[in-house]
Amino acid sequence: MNRLNTVLGVVALAQGGLVALTWWPNNNAAAAMVPLVSLEPSDVHGLKVWTGTDKDKDPIELEQSQGAWQIKSSGGYPADATKVQKVLDALAGAEVSDPVATTKSSYDALKVTADSFDKKVELDGDGTSTTIFVGAGSGRAATVRREDADAVYRIAGLSQWSIGSRPSDYYDSTYLKVDPGDIQTFTVQHGPDKIEIQNTEGTWTIAGLAEGRTVDQGAVADLVRQATTVKISALPDDPTAPPTADLTVAWTVGSGDDSTSGGYVLGPETNSKRAVRSNDSSYTVLASTYSLKKVADASLETLTHSQ
């Protein structure tokens, strides 16, 4: 009996050793990395993004035209190429190895189906299109599956939040910016009321002041500072349509032959926003009413005081 036990023990040890050898990690056999999609980032000329919470709504759609990216679903408003490139690099530039799942029974839990996803992305190239579902993840890693494939992969450094699905995720929020110190003349006109301001060696003067009134240098400086930086709060339904003019702002920078002009039209307040159209732009944007309050409220009374 003792002999039999000894033999059985030896056999068990041998089997255990075989199992250990079978599952011992082989550092020399790392899985080869392969591209997630056949498109290179530079091959992609169109991008559509749906969000899982509004999957039945139209996606945000971007396209490359004449070498520049634009938000096609927002009237062709210019997109920030750097922001678009981050998404292209994250997906068209992704490489994967071992899948975390290959069966349909696991797709719902990982949120990589047409009915359940966090983000759905369509990459369009010349004559080819690839759709990717981006699903559940943890930390800075998310699961992805191509619509035409069974394998689900986890990509480190990717999350659903890094793939924008709103226009604001893709445009530069600064619509207009001029150094207020460079302004030489500045005009605000609201209907027939026109305020003309001049910068003379750092001192602001206003034309046509009534006797006994002097310029409030701080108030004018604040007005010019606010007026020469416009941040986008949102895009209108049709950014190509000019706004109804409520007031106009104009300025010059430099003097003589080196003088350049600028300005914009400001629309009336609607839902705490005002439409803005720069003289140098073909697109209208919406800015918060608060951000341009000093401009809209500018008057001789707000910019001067009694001596």
Helices of type H across the chain: 2-23, 81-91, 107-110, 217-227, 293-296, 300-303
Task: Determine the Cα–Cα distance for residues 125 and 128; give it in Å rounded to an integer.
Answer: 5
pLDDT of residue 30: 57
Handedness of CA 176, 179, 183, 188 (dihedral sign): positive
- CA of residue 292 relative to chain centroid, distance: 23
* Contact predicate 177/229, CB 8 Å: yes
Distance CA 208, CA 299 (A): 13
Last residue of a domain, one of 130, 154, 169: 169
* pLDDT value of position 137: 77
The residue among 148, 169, 190 that closes a domain is 169
The residue assigned the tokens 């699905």 is: 165
- Domain range for 76: 35-169
Residue range 56-78: mean pLDDT, rounded: 95
Query: Does residue 239 sit in the same domain as residue 288?
Result: yes
**Whether residue 212 sits in one domain with residue 158:** no
Same domain, 228 and 295: yes
% of the chain surpassing 70 pLDDT: 90
Averaged pLDDT of the chain: 89
Query: How many domains are contained in the chain?
Result: 2
pTM, two decimals, is 0.83
Domain boundary among 136, 169, 202: 169
Claim to verify: residue 163 and residue 255 sit in the same structural domain: no
Q: Over range 17-46, report the average pLDDT.
A: 68
